[in-house]
Amino acid sequence: MTGTVSAEIPVSADSRPRHVAIIMDGNNRWAKARRLKGVAGHRAGVDAVRAVVETCAREGVEVLTLFAFSSENWRRPQDEVSALMKLFLFALEREVRKLHRNDIRLRIIGDRSAFSPALQEHMEAAEELTRNNARMTLVIAANYGGHWDITQATRQVAEKVRVGQLAPSDITDDLIQQHLSIGDLPMPDLMIRTAGEQRVSNFMLWQLAYTELYFSPVYWPDFQEEEMRKALQAYAGRQRRFGQTDDQIAAKAIQQ
DSSP string, the chain: ------S-SPPPGGGS-SEEEEE---HHHHHHHTT--HHHHHHHHHHHHHHHHHHHHHTT-SEEEEEEEETTGGGS-HHHHHHHHHHHHHHHHHHHHHHHHTTEEEEEES-GGGS-HHHHHHHHHHHHHHTT--SEEEEEEEEE-HHHHHHHHHHHHHHHHHTTSS-GGG--HHHHHHTSTTTTSPPPSEEEE-TT--S-TTSSTTTTTT-EEEE--S-GGG--HHHHHHHHHHHHT----TT--HHHHHHHHHH-
Of the listed 14, 25, 47, 133, which one is catalytic? 25
218 and 163 housed in the same domain: no
**73 included as an active-site residue:** yes
**Is 101 inside a domain boundary?**
yes
Overall number of domains in the chain = 2
Instruction: State the pLDDT at residue 7.
Output: 46
Give me the pLDDT at residue 246, please: 65
Structure confidence at residue 80 (pLDDT) = 87
Phi-psi sector, 143: left (phi>0), alpha (psi -120 to 50), beta: left
Same domain? For 173 and 105 the reply is: no
Q: ∠ at Cα 131 (130, 132), nearest 5°? A: 95
pLDDT at residue 4, as a whole number: 45
User: Band of the pLDDT at 79, cuts 50, 70, 90?
Assistant: confident
Q: How far apart are CA 55 and CA 91, in angstroms?
A: 18
Q: Residues comprising the binding site for substrate? A: 26-30, 42, 70-72, 74, 76, 193, 199-201
Residue length of the chain: 256
Check whether 25 has a pLDDT greater than 60.
yes
Find the catalytic residue in 73, 102, 133, 202.
73
- Per-residue pLDDT, 98: 96
* Domain-embedded: residue 13: no
Say whether 149 is catalytic: no
Residue pair 116/97 in contact by the 8 Å Cβ criterion: no
208 and 103 part of one domain:
yes
Last residue of a domain, one of 156, 180, 204: 180
Asked if residue 5 has pLDDT above 60, the reply is no
Annotated binding site: which residue ranges? 25-30, 42, 70-72, 74, 76, 193, 199-201, 212
Average pLDDT, the chain: 91
Q: Quick check: is 124 in a domain?
A: yes
Question: Exposed, middle or buried: residue 134 (CB in 10 Å: 0-12, 13-18, 19+)?
Answer: exposed
Whether residue 153 is found in the same domain as residue 234: no
Instruction: Beginning with the edge strand found earlier in the chain, give each strand of the sheet holding 212-215 in spatial order.
Output: 104-109, 136-144, 63-70, 19-23, 190-193, 212-215
Residue type at 116 in one-letter notation: S
Assess whether 166 and 139 both reside in one domain: no
pLDDT band at 159 (very low <50, low <70, confident <90, very high): very high
Residue range(s) defining the domain that contains residue 235: 19-144+187-254
Say if 6 falls within a structural domain. Answer: no
Domain annotation covers residue 11:
no
Residue 9 domain flag: no
Answer whether residue 85 is part of any domain. yes
Q: What is the mean pLDDT of residues 145-149?
A: 98
User: Of 31, 48, 50, 47, whose CA–CA distance to 39 is shortest?
Assistant: 31
226 and 113 co-located in one domain: yes
CATH value at residue 41: 3.40.1180.10
Q: Are residues 244 and 166 in the same domain?
A: no
| Mean pLDDT computed over 107-118 | 94
Q: Does a structural domain hold residue 1?
A: no
- Rounded to whole angstroms, the Cα distance separating 138 from 241 reads 27
